[in-house]
Amino acid sequence: MQDCSEILVLFTPVANERKYVWMEIGMFLALKKRVIAVLYGVARDEIYTDSRIPVALKRMLFAELNEVETYLEKLEERVNQWKTEHV
């Protein structure tokens, strides 16, 4: 966890019910790491309106499953920029 800069979470209805998933997401957010939740079978509105989900966790970046390619392209850009700055 300390050695990475972001995490990609496949967020499904089952994951939504698992407290350890939220705990791990919360730990990454507390470390000011980028958290991307790829939604599969869960709509953004469900997360935003679920009173069981803390407000801080509702501020995560969400992407629909069909938006993963865009995320991966942006991730590649960030990695290339990091390489340029640290090599």
What are the average pLDDT values for consecutive 10-residue runs of the chain, which has 87 residues?
Answer: 85 87 87 87 86 78 78 88 88
Number of domains in the chain: 1
pLDDT score for 81: 92
38 falls within a domain: yes
pLDDT score for 22: 84
CA distances from 48 to 1, 70, 78, 85 (A): 26, 22, 28, 36
1 falls within a domain: no
Amino acid in position 51? S
Residue 67 is given by DSSP the state G
The span from the CA of 10 to the CA of 21, in Å, is 10
pLDDT score for 4: 86
Please check whether residue 7 is in contact with residue 30, taking contact to mean a CB–CB distance below 8 angstroms.
Answer: no
pLDDT score for 41: 87
Per the structure, the complete domain to which residue 73 belongs is given by 6-86
36 falls within a domain: yes
